């Protein structure tokens, strides 16, 4: 009976043709799913008995891949396999298209993570990543998979999807031979999908299209397949429909990785060259480096040399990530692993650097290494001035983990001592601020984000300036250049008008618009980065009801009519409120700031003018009227000259007060104005 039932199940499962896959989202709702993972699972679940009817060999040959069998195989993942049986791949996708869920399922199916240890978003370790549903810190994992009776070693490198971390993503892709392109079957191709695909194509990766979430009622796999073919130009005849959440189609994905992704080249005899694709700081062991061996082999105890930073260390520990760290004696060409060598700073082992042997150095380093350059700056000040040492220590600890974070001390007359910090982009800035507040219990005030301007001086010198207070005097500067980005917005056709209006308002220069399908368009603009660091993304989402997505790349510097807008209170310039703005926007920004300050600064015993100035020219002004004592209260009748005498005496006193009086701007006023600056700019 068991034998007949089993052959029936096998026959049913073998009908899995491409035509059937296209209608998969209908089948997913029925009890008889044609896909392999849940076959034995469903028998167990519904029949309450287990049918063991195939040997290990038969299981490997047919499409059934038993999770228990996978768990046994997964425990042997430290065993070496030939280079031809290694597959290095990554998963690229837009935010919320199911990348982390798919990674979880692959780990579970191959027995890499035991069921009792499994949790959602297994590779996302930080609470921040889980809350926001994004990948911030890159992870890697080694899996063992049996295909046609042969063991294969699959190295998954999980990459962050956001544009701020595009350099890290490019180094991760350089460590792979193939990529899974995960596209939501209901959402379709999004902006970051495109950007990451282009990065993968630049690295000559084999791309396997995967349609995720086909079990959703709104899934349209046929439309999305057409979209991928038209927009990206990939052949989707072998696209794999799957549902990572339900576990549908996972075995097909694993089989496709083995069959379609090429193995790494066998270069174990060449001098060692290994590409660093990530590193982090461990308080007990120093910096832990994640790398992919391109040429040669590396053993525990080897003296290694970092070619970009010119540092050498002894490799105290070498191992693989599965996904926890497991020690091994050596790694050879094609393998992915980690090493610990008592390195004290992440800056010594930067992403993209090449590791080689100290005694037998490689002739050239691997291409593509770049220093991370901050694009967005802002000031961080502790609310309580006593927390300044704690803020400095916290930033130094964060910098151990994040070589892209730059900071220098800054003093402000309004907010005291703080730091001017540089970030890769807006998401990077938000993450650092949130981590400082959460992990180090700091209360922070942040100034409006600004960008790095280039000032061409009259003596042919070029000065980079991220802080308005450091801008050279008008007589010394010839021109100011600002960073410009190329932005691509993907939107349904109903919102094209409002998004074009948004880009035009932000000084955008229209470049191109094309319809990628009947209902979706791609709009390309060149936009100053300064206009984007405010609420551009929020505006994009609200104007398109959440349907539009965007991607931007830095293209260079461009000369522009920029001026420094100063705020003067009672004739004294207030440096923390100075900003660099475009001449066309100076009046509206100045008007908004002076009006807000008038509401927030308490009235004094004398009249206080609040002025927005460009150089010595006042462009917007408000004034706080003085608190006056009614000196005429005691006069009831009498000559007018008596009243004039009293008023003149009062005016002289007010004038004397104004000359020596000092206006203290309260902290709340600064915080409110900084918030307003973020909105206005």
The answer to whether position 37 is within a domain reads no
Residues 621 and 590 placed together within one structural domain of the fold: yes
Ligand-binding site membership of 566 (annotated):
no
The answer to whether position 300 is within a domain reads yes
Q: What is the 3-state secondary structure (H, E, C) of 49-96?
A: CCCCCCCHHHHHHCCCCCHHHHHHHHCCCCCCCCHHHEEEEEEEECCC
Ligand-binding site membership of 248 (annotated):
no
Q: pLDDT (tens digit, 9 = 90+) per residue, 5-56? A: 444 434 333 334 334 444 443 433 333 333 333 333 333 333 323 323 322 3
pLDDT of 105 strictly over 60:
yes
pLDDT-derived band at 393 (thresholds 50, 70, 90) equals: confident
pLDDT-derived band at 677 (thresholds 50, 70, 90) equals: low
Ligand-binding site membership of 41 (annotated):
no
Ligand-binding site membership of 617 (annotated):
no
> Is the CB of residue 342 less than 8 Å from the CB of residue 372?
no
Better-scored residue on pLDDT, 432 or 161 = 432
Q: pLDDT (tens digit, 9 = 90+) per residue, 445-468? A: 777 777 888 888 888 888 888 777
Ligand-binding site membership of 93 (annotated):
yes
Q: How far apart are CA 57 and CA 511, in angstroms?
A: 58
pLDDT-derived band at 438 (thresholds 50, 70, 90) equals: confident
For residue 631, the model assigns a pLDDT of 67
Q: pLDDT (tens digit, 9 = 90+) per residue, 468-490? A: 777 888 788 888 888 898 888 88
For residue 643, the model assigns a pLDDT of 82
Lowest mean pLDDT among 262-271, 511-520, 653-662: 653-662
> Is the CB of residue 192 less than 8 Å from the CB of residue 94?
yes
Which among 580, 591, 590, 508 is positioned nearest to 550, based on CA atoms?
A: 508
CA dist 190 → 22, 97, 468, 485, 553 (Å): 21, 10, 37, 19, 16
Average pLDDT rounded to a whole number, residues 232-255: 84
Average pLDDT rounded to a whole number, residues 287-314: 87
Q: How far apart are CA 423 and CA 305, in angstroms?
A: 29
Residues 88 and 227 placed together within one structural domain of the fold: yes
Residues 421 and 471 placed together within one structural domain of the fold: no
The answer to whether position 314 is within a domain reads yes
For residue 42, the model assigns a pLDDT of 35
Ligand-binding site membership of 98 (annotated):
yes
Ligand-binding site membership of 24 (annotated):
no
For residue 53, the model assigns a pLDDT of 31
Ligand-binding site membership of 95 (annotated):
yes
Ligand-binding site membership of 422 (annotated):
no
Lowest mean pLDDT among 103-107, 505-509, 586-590: 103-107
The answer to whether position 369 is within a domain reads no
Percent of the chain exceeding pLDDT 90 equals 0
Token pair listed for 430: 């938000």
Residues 181 and 102 placed together within one structural domain of the fold: yes
For residue 327, the model assigns a pLDDT of 85
pLDDT of 73 strictly over 70:
no
Q: How far apart are CA 312 and CA 341, in angstroms?
A: 9
Percent of the chain exceeding pLDDT 70 equals 77
Query: Chain-wide mean pLDDT for the chain?
Result: 75
Ligand-binding site membership of 359 (annotated):
no
pLDDT-derived band at 667 (thresholds 50, 70, 90) equals: low
Ligand-binding site membership of 545 (annotated):
no
Average pLDDT rounded to a whole number, residues 249-266: 87
20-34, 64-78, 205-219, 600-614 — most confident range: 205-219
Residue 350 maps to which CATH number? Answer: 2.40.30.10
Residue 643 maps to which CATH number? Answer: 3.30.70.2570
Better-scored residue on pLDDT, 7 or 325 = 325
Lowest mean pLDDT among 130-139, 381-390, 545-554, 586-595: 130-139
Ligand-binding site membership of 25 (annotated):
no
Residues 529 and 622 placed together within one structural domain of the fold: no
Residues 541 and 571 placed together within one structural domain of the fold: no
Residue 413 maps to which CATH number? Answer: 3.30.70.870
Residues 125 and 204 placed together within one structural domain of the fold: yes
The answer to whether position 160 is within a domain reads yes
Ligand-binding site membership of 94 (annotated):
yes
Ligand-binding site membership of 584 (annotated):
no
Residues 344 and 306 placed together within one structural domain of the fold: yes
What does the radius of gyration of the chain's CA atoms come to, in whole angstroms? 31
Residues 287 and 249 placed together within one structural domain of the fold: no
Residues 96 and 204 placed together within one structural domain of the fold: yes
Q: Among 390, 420, 447, give the residue marking a domain's end.
A: 447
Residues 382 and 313 placed together within one structural domain of the fold: no
Q: How far apart are CA 252 and CA 637, in angstroms?
A: 101
Q: Among 447, 470, 504, give the residue marking a domain's end.
A: 447
Residues 123 and 85 placed together within one structural domain of the fold: yes
User: In degrees rounded to 5, what are phi and psi of residue 339?
Assistant: -145, 150
Lowest mean pLDDT among 27-41, 62-76, 153-167, 641-655: 27-41
CA angle (129 as vertex; 128, 133 as ends), nearest 5: 120
Average pLDDT rounded to a whole number, residues 338-359: 84
pLDDT-derived band at 661 (thresholds 50, 70, 90) equals: low
Average pLDDT rounded to a whole number, residues 146-154: 85
> Is the CB of residue 87 less than 8 Å from the CB of residue 259?
no
Q: Is 477 exposed, middle or buried (0-12, 13-18, 19+ CB in 10 A)?
A: middle
The answer to whether position 367 is within a domain reads no
Say how many domains are in the chain: 5
Ligand-binding site membership of 274 (annotated):
no
Ligand-binding site membership of 384 (annotated):
no
For residue 413, the model assigns a pLDDT of 66
Ligand-binding site membership of 161 (annotated):
yes
Domain that holds residue 524: 454-560
Q: Is 557 exposed, middle or buried (0-12, 13-18, 19+ CB in 10 A)?
A: middle
User: In degrees rounded to 5, what are phi and psi of residue 617?
Assistant: -90, 125
pLDDT-derived band at 616 (thresholds 50, 70, 90) equals: confident
CA dist 81 → 152, 296, 649 (Å): 7, 16, 97
For residue 679, the model assigns a pLDDT of 58
């Amino acid at each position: 009976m068991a034998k007949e039932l089993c052959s029936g199940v096998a026959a049913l499962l073998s009908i899995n043709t491409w035509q059937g896959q296209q209608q998969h989202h209908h089948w997913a709702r029925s009890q008889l799913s044609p896909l392999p993972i849940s076959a034995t699972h469903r028998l167990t679940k519904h029949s309450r008995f287990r049918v063991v009817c195939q040997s290990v060999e038969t299981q490997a040959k047919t499409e059934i891949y038993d999770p228990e069998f996978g768990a046994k195989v997964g425990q042997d993942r430290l065993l070496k396999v030939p280079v031809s049986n290694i597959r290095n791949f990554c998963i690229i996708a837009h935010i919320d298209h199911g990348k982390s869920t798919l990674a979880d399922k692959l780990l579970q199916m191959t027995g890499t993570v035991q069921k009792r240890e499994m949790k959602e978003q297994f590779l996302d370790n930080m609470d921040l990543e889980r809350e926001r549903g994004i990948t911030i810190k890159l992870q890697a994992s080694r899996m063992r998979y049996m295909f046609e009776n042969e063991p294969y070693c699959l190295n998954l490198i999980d990459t962050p999807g956001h544009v701020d971390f595009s350099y890290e993503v490019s180094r991760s892709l350089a460590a792979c031979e193939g990529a899974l392109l995960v596209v939501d079957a209901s959402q379709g191709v999004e902006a970051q999908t495109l950007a990451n695909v282009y990065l993968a194509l630049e690295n000559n990766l084999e791309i396997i299209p995967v349609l995720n979430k086909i079990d959703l009622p709104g899934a349209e796999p046929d439309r999305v397949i057409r979209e991928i073919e038209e927009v990206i130009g990939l052949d989707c005849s072998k696209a794999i429909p799957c549902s990572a959440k339900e576990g549908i189609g996972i075995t097909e994905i694993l089989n496709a990785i083995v069959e379609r992704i090429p193995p790494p080249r066998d270069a174990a005899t060449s001098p060692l060259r290994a590409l660093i694709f990530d590193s982090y700081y461990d308080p007990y062991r120093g910096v832990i480096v994640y790398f992919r061996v391109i040429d040669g082999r590396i053993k525990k105890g080897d003296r290694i040399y970092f070619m970009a930073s010119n540092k050498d260390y002894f490799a105290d520990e070498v191992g693989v990530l599965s996904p926890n760290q497991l020690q091994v004696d050596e790694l050879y060409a094609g393998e992915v692993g980690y090493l610990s060598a008592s390195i004290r700073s992440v800056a010594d082992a930067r992403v993209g650097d090449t590791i080689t042997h100290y005694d037998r150095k490689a002739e050239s380093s691997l291409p593509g290494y770049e220093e991370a350059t901050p694009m967005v700056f802002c000031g961080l000040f502790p609310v309580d001035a006593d927390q300044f040492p704690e803020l400095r220590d916290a930033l130094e600890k964060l910098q151990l983990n994040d070589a892209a974070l730059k900071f220098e001390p800054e003093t402000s007359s309004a907010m005291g001592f703080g730091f001017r910090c540089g970030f890769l982009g807006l998401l990077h800035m938000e993450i650092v601020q949130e981590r400082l507040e959460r992990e180090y219990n700091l209360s922070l005030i942040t100034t409006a984000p600004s960008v790095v301007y280039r000032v061409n001086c009259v003596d042919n010198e070029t000065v980079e300036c991220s802080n308005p207070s450091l801008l050279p005097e008008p007589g010394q500067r010839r021109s100011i250049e600002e960073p410009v980005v190329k932005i691509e917005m993907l939107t349904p056709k109903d919102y094209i008008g409002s998004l074009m209006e948004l880009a035009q308002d932000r000084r955008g220069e229209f470049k191109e618009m094309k319809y990628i399908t009947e209902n979706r368009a791609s709009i390309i603009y060149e936009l100053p980065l300064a206009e984007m660091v405010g609420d551009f993304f929020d505006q994009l989402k609200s104007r398109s009801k959440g349907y539009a997505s965007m991607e931007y790349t830095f293209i260079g510097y461009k000369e522009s009519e920029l001026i420094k807008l100063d705020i003067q209170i009672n004739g004294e310039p207030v440096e923390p409120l100075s900003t660099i703005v475009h001449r066309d926007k100076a009046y509206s920004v100045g008007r908004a700031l002076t009006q807000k300050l008038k509401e927030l600064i308490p009235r004094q015993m004398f009249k206080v003018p609040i002025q927005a100035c460009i150089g010595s020219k006042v462009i917007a002004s408000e004034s706080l009227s003085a608190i006056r004592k009614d000196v005429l209260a005691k006069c009831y009748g009498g000559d007018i000259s008596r009243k004039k005498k009293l008023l003149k005496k009062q005016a002289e006193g007010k004038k004397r007060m104004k000359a020596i009086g000092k206006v203290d701007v309260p902290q709340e006023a600064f915080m409110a104005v900084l918030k307003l600056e973020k909105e206005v700019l």
